[in-house]
Amino acid sequence: MGERFSFTFFMQQKLKNKFPEWCFDFTQRQNILVLTDDLDSLLGCSIENYVKGNDINYFYNFNKLFVADKSDKRKAIGIDLALHKGKSWCNHVVRINKDDYVNPQTANINALLKVHSGNYFKKYAMSTAIMMWSFYDLPLPKTKEGKMLLLCIDSGFLGHYDNRFKDIHTAYLELLGFNKLIDLLNNTSKFDFEMLQSKYKTKAKIKLNNDGYLQTNLPLADLQGFLGIPLELPRQKFELMFQFNDGIESTYQIKSKNQINKQIISFALTGKRKFKFTYV
């Protein structure tokens, strides 16, 4: 990563200053949110609602976009969504090579620090939600279990227990200002985290049922109790708005996003040598 930063609380200012201007606008209820299909996105939406009063109006399951209120024309923010254009909070690697176009509106550490397929294993590999938690200077959950659950999202604890990635994992937690979580990881086993993931079903998906309502097996009341942030699904009915094409390609064949001759909606590397995208 080059430089190492040292601090006590919250996201290191040099990194925070790289984020798009819209992230620093605390006007209430200015935007609406795009939820995707997992806990990372739902908690990110809950953070946006808690801090800025923004509500979920869209649900995106990668190749379809559903809407609750078509009449709401406020600008959308994608949460845990690698949008090619428009505002988004995201934790994905969005470059094939270092010179690829990156959405200037994306709030994404991997985009800001120029991670790409060539330095893929230096990526930020924790959740979008914990990045947002740091950016908005939210206090960590009070209990050990609450802090652990925050690290369970997107299996954000894993890098600490792999000697290949432990140093980079620690460096990112320092960048986020979460030294307390480093201490927690040092005194907790990988097995303990995996058991907590299983107990609270943190990998459970969010889906639309046949009647157009969102549902999940996530124990939202329990998770809310530990995390200290209201956590609930929208109760409105959703209907299909757009359907997209999707593709999976290899960076062996495609060396730059500029080679993709399609109107890209979302794009993310799913490994050093593969990427997934949606397009019109």
Q: Angle at which helices 39-52 and 128-135 pack, to 10 degrees?
A: 20
Its pTM stands at 0.95
pLDDT at 10: 61
Taking each continuous run of H as one helix and of E as one strand, the counts in the chain are 9, 12
Q: Look at residue 7 and tell me whether its pLDDT is greater than 90.
A: no
Q: Each residue of 266-276: pLDDT tens digit?
A: 999 999 999 99
CA distance 127 to 227: 14
Residues 6+ apart with CB under 8 A from 133: 47, 140, 150
- Other residues' Cβ atoms within 10 Å of the Cβ of residue 242: 14
pLDDT at 273: 96
Q: Look at residue 4 and tell me whether its pLDDT is greater than 90.
A: no
CA distance 43 to 41: 6
pLDDT at 127: 98
What would the two tokens of residue 269 be?
């590397």
Beta strands in the chain (DSSP E): 32-35, 55-60, 64-67, 76-79, 87-89, 106-107, 206-208, 214-216, 239-243, 245-250, 264-271, 274-279
CA distance 39 to 46: 10
Q: Each residue of 150-195: pLDDT tens digit?
A: 999 999 999 999 999 999 999 999 999 999 999 999 999 999 999 9
Q: Look at residue 1 and tell me whether its pLDDT is greater than 50.
A: no
Give the residue among 70, 74, 90 at the shortest CA–CA distance from 82.
90
pLDDT at 6: 34
Return the half-sphere exposure (C-beta side, CA atoms, 13 A cut-off) of residue 154.
20
Q: 106 - beta bridge partners?
A: 88
Backbone angles phi, psi at 207, to 5 degrees: -135, 160
Give the residue among 74, 69, 32 at the shortest CA–CA distance from 238.
69
- In the three-class reduction of DSSP (H, G, I as helix; E, B as strand; rest coil), residue 169 is classed as helix
